[in-house]
Amino acid sequence: TDREVLAEWDKKHFLHPTSSIKQQQEEGPALIFTEGKGIYLKDTEGKEYIDGLSSLWNVNIGHGREELGKVSMEQMAKLGFSSTFATFSHEPAIQLAAKIAEITPEGLDTVFFTSGGSESNDTAFKLVRHYWKLKGLPDKKKIVSRRKSYHGVAMGATSATGLKPFRDFTTSLAPDFYYVDSTPEAFKAFIEAEGAETIAAFISEPIQGTGGVHLPPQDYFKEIKAICEEHNILFIADEVITGFGRTGTFFGVEQFGIVPDLMSVAKGITSGYAALGGVIISREIHNDLIELSDGLFMHGYTYSGHPTACAVALKNIEIIEEEDLVNNSKLMGEEMLQGFKWLQQEHEIIGEVRGLGLMGAIEIVKDRKTNERFADPLAPKIVAESLKRGLIHRGVIYEGADTLIFAPPLTIDKYEINKMINILNEAIGAVKKELA
């Protein structure tokens, strides 16, 4: 079917996620992708683009991996679907659960499977509340998250999301969700005001992704974890973006020397080749649940532990290990940051640059010294110029930001990083010219 027809059907029949509905209606789809290979995506016009955000921070092993097609086909042909509810099980889910226990930090041993990150977080919230209820503390139910956080779009996940535009978009949210500033002091003050006996858990991304790739101060999480332990509050790490090698370690928490009580994962677990997520819980919580559970655990998705998704995840993790992609993420992350620093020397409108592994950000400023921003943010214009030149990345402009963010596939090499930086250099140059 030719592009014009596809674009017409798209406008008429397809409500796009996280989109401007009006713009979509007026302009139709900007790009219709047809295939991908490595860090590249190709569209209907045959034009190639560097996928500078690994699509949605998830295509960690890169596009077009035939190995994953092969395991999908084999698994579907053998057992396309069967249930994991109650006492039923199947080999791909069991193998993946064991593999996850092996690669996650010591003590995190048991996984509940979901179909994505939002479901993982909603599961974590229900699970921690259920846990405290079983412990005889039903009032311990508040969930505390950080400002600028993003935890997904299910009702609990939206309610936990600190970024306002995602919450303001609708009317009512789930009760018992609270946000704090990103300092240990703010969390302590919150506990003092509300009472630890009312707080079930603290949730945080190791590095805030959607909010604009914000790294925490080095000791932040150690302090937060200590506060949690002191007050009997569970710590949930949202590793949906940071998991599976993104930051240069297998999981983001490893960068900060902590082990959470629960960990949400999705995205990189399959590199996007299948829809899968999970909540990994500590041995201790699992043991308590075994001891205290009185009735049924009434929570499960039809696709909890989908056999094909689990088979894809296993192969994906095998590839990450065999190709040493976690280490490549670390090395190429350093390369990318060097590139950002070079751009910073070339362009006075670049303020702070930062990154860890293959998660990076460039701040656009009007004045480097004062950190003053342009009244009309430049990030969208730079993103558009990059796109013209064959690079896809994202601009963050909510809550006063003017930030470019990047997260290319973990398979990227030096040559490709350079290519990305050169396109950015041209794109920023073009926007600067417009300003003058």
- E-only strand ranges, 322-358: 350-356
Asked whether the beta carbons of 432 and 349 are under 8 A apart, the reply is yes
Nearer to ligand PLP among residue 63 and residue 151 (C-beta):
151
Please provide the size of the chain in residues: 436
Residue 320: exposure state from Cβ atoms within 10 A (0-12, 13-18, ≥19): buried
Nearer to ligand PLP among residue 116 and residue 278 (C-beta):
116
Residue 150 CB, shortest distance to ligand PLP, in Å, is 5
Tokens matching residue 385: 């110029």
Residue 265 CB, shortest distance to ligand PLP, in Å, is 9
Residue 430 CB, shortest distance to ligand PLP, in Å, is 29
Residue 58 CB, shortest distance to ligand PLP, in Å, is 8
Nearer to ligand PLP among residue 119 and residue 335 (C-beta):
119
Residue 241 CB, shortest distance to ligand PLP, in Å, is 4
Q: Which of residues 63-92 bind ligand PLP (CB under 6 A)?
A: none
- Give which of 318, 354, 333 is closest to 412, Cα–Cα: 333
User: What is the SS3 string spanning 354-418?
Assistant: EEECCEEEEEECCECCCCECCCCCCHHHHHHHHHHCCEECEEECHHHCCEEEECCCCCCCHHHHH
Q: Is 210 in the site for ligand PLP (CB under 6 A)?
A: yes
Maximum distance among all Cα pairs of the chain, rounded to whole angstroms? 70
Asked whether the beta carbons of 39 and 409 are under 8 A apart, the reply is yes
Q: Is 117 in the site for ligand PLP (CB under 6 A)?
A: yes
Rounded to whole angstroms, the Cα distance separating 192 from 186 reads 10
Q: Is 209 in the site for ligand PLP (CB under 6 A)?
A: yes
CB atoms within 10 A of CB 13: 7
CA-based end-to-end distance of the chain: 44
Distances (CA, A) of 425 to 209, 386, 419: 23, 9, 10
- Binding string, 230-249, against ligand PLP, x = CB under 6 A? --------x-xx--------
Q: Which of residues 6-65 bind ligand PLP (CB under 6 A)?
A: none
Q: Is 104 in the site for ligand PLP (CB under 6 A)?
A: no
Q: Is 205 in the site for ligand PLP (CB under 6 A)?
A: yes
Residue 405 CB, shortest distance to ligand PLP, in Å, is 11
Q: Is 340 in the site for ligand PLP (CB under 6 A)?
A: no
Nearer to ligand PLP among residue 114 and residue 431 (C-beta):
114
Asked whether the beta carbons of 146 and 314 are under 8 A apart, the reply is no
Among 118, 282, 304, 411, binds ligand PLP (CB under 6 A): 118
Q: Is 152 in the site for ligand PLP (CB under 6 A)?
A: yes
Nearer to ligand PLP among residue 210 and residue 328 (C-beta):
210
Please, what is the angle between helix 66-79 and helix 307-322, to 10°?
A: 150
**Segment contacting ligand PLP (CB under 6 A): 181-189, 204-212, 214-222, 328-336?**
204-212
Q: Is 143 in the site for ligand PLP (CB under 6 A)?
A: no
- Residues in contact with ligand PLP by CB under 6 A are 116-118, 121, 150-152, 205, 209-210, 238, 240-241, 266
